[in-house]
Structure 1
Amino acid sequence: MYIPKSFQETDQTTLLQFVRDHSFALLITTGDDGIPVATHLPIELQPTTDGNFQLVGHLAKANAQWTLLGRDIPALAVFSGPHSYISSSWYDHVNVPTWNYLSVQITGRTTLLSDDETLELLRQQVDKYEARSKCPVSIESMTERYVRQQMRGLVAFSMAIETIEGAAKLSQNRDDKNYQAIIAELNQQDDTNAQAVASEMAHRRPTINP
């Protein structure tokens, strides 16, 4: 993706943690006809036996996109974080409005998972997302026969990480005065996205004169 140098996020630890924290992603694949196909779905970051990482997820079998998996054509996974409109009225000079955001894109080739691998993925995902439930369910609370019957309706995959790019467009090109003004304005918005952007900006450039 296009990322101006000042907005590039290159720290691998930060990029991988972002993927963990924003796992509801957009998976994009391309067929022989050249037409891209996309699906929104949770995609997990998983360590591999060689000390690297891969992505894993699953699609409904009724979703024809799964037939594009397991090919020698790279797929693209897009992970999006908080974002917000930035009004140029917040600056102390004339300028144009813009948009601040956080995003990570990963490309790689996909492989279809076996039934046992799929079952383990479902176990991990259910445990992860049920962790905050008042009455959490688990794969173990269901019979394996029932779970495997449900598995007939989905296709799971892994995706090797070939490239990973991150964008943190957070007004880094502004001086301290305007940077802090943007944070203040975002915090006044009745919008969790705007406030999350403000929090990230404040973390990256703490107030010099609080």
Structure 2
Amino acid sequence: MYIPHAFQETDRPTLLQFVRDNSFALLVTTGYDGIPVATHLPIELLADTDGQFQLVGHLAKANPQWKLLGQNRPALAVFSGPHSYISSSWYDHVNVPTWNYLSVQITGRTTMLTDGETLDFLRQQVDRYEAHSAHPVSVESMTVDYVRKQMSGVVAFRMTIDTMQGAAKLSQNRDDKNYQSIIAELRQTGNADAEKMANVMATRRPTIDK
């Protein structure tokens, strides 16, 4: 993806943590007719037996995109974080409006999981998202027949991490006065994403008054 130099995020641990924290992604593949196909789905960052990080997820078997996966076919996974409109009126000088955002894009090759691997993955995924539930459930709490029936309707895959690019467009190219003004204005919008963006900006540039 196109990322101006000032907004490039290149620290690998930071990028990997972003993927963990923003796991609801967009999976993009190219159809046999050359037309892109995309699905929104949770994709997990997991380590393989050699300690190498990979992406793992699953699609509904009713979703024809799964037929475009496997056999080391290429794919693109897009992970998005907080984002918000930045008004021209928030500067002390004439400036065009813009949009601040956080994003990571990963390209790699896909292979399909076996039934055993799929079951292990689903256990991990359910446990992760049930961890903060008042009454957590698990795959083990369901009957074997029920789990098998549900698994017959999904196709799980893994994806290598061949390239990883991160964009952190956070008004880094503004002076402290305008940077602080943007944070203050974001907090006044009453918008949840704008508040998250303000928090990220304040954390990334801690020298200013939060």
Q: Is 1:96 the counterpart of 2:99 in the alignment?
A: no
The structure-2 alpha-carbon separation of the partners of 1:125 and 1:209, relative to structure 1 and needing over 3 Å to count, comes to closer
Three-state SS of the structure 2 residue aligned to 1:109 is: strand
Count of residue pairs the alignment pairs up: 210
CA-to-aligned-CA distance 1:103-149 (integer Å, 9 cap, x gap): 00000000000000000111011111111111111101012222011
Shift of 1:90: 0.5
- 1:20 aligns with 20
Instruction: Name the counterpart of 2:84.
Output: 84
Cα offsets for 1:143-169 (capped at 9, x unmatched): 222201110000000000000000000
Please state whether the residue corresponding to 2:164 is helix, strand or coil.
Answer: strand
Q: CA RMSD in A?
A: 1.1
Counterpart amino acid of residue 60 in structure 1: A
Does the 8 Å contact 1:30/1:73 carry over to 2?
no
Read off the aligned partner of 1:163 and give its amino acid letter.
T
Superposed CA offset, 1:54-89 (max 9, x none): 000000000000000014431000000000000010
**Take 1:164 and 1:144, find their aligned partners in 2: how far apart are those partners?**
38
- Are the counterparts in 2 of residues 102 and 169 from structure 1 also a CA contact under 8 Å? yes
Amino acid paired to 1:98: T
Per the TM alignment, residue 209 of structure 1 is displaced from its structure 2 partner at its CA by 5.5
Could you tell me which residue of structure 2 aligns to residue 33 of structure 1? 33
Residue 48 (structure 1) shift? 1.5
Report percent identity of matched pairs: 76
* Residue in 2 that maps onto 1:46: 46
In structure 2, distance between residues paired with 1:71 and 1:47: 20
| Letter in structure 2 aligned against 1:17 | Q
Tell me if 1:200 matches 2:200. yes
Partner of 1:171: 171
Q: Distance in 2 between matches of 1:209 and 1:63?
A: 49
* Whole-Å separation in 2 of the counterparts to 1:24 and 1:174: 31
- Contact 1:180–1:207 (CA under 8 A) maintained in structure 2: no
* Residue in structure 2 matched with residue 122 of structure 1 by the alignment: 122
What TM-score do the two structures reach when normalised by structure 1?
0.97
Match for 2:8: what amino acid? Q
Please name the residue that 2:150 is paired with: 150
Question: How many angstroms apart in 1 are the aligned matches of 2:139 and 2:73?
Answer: 33
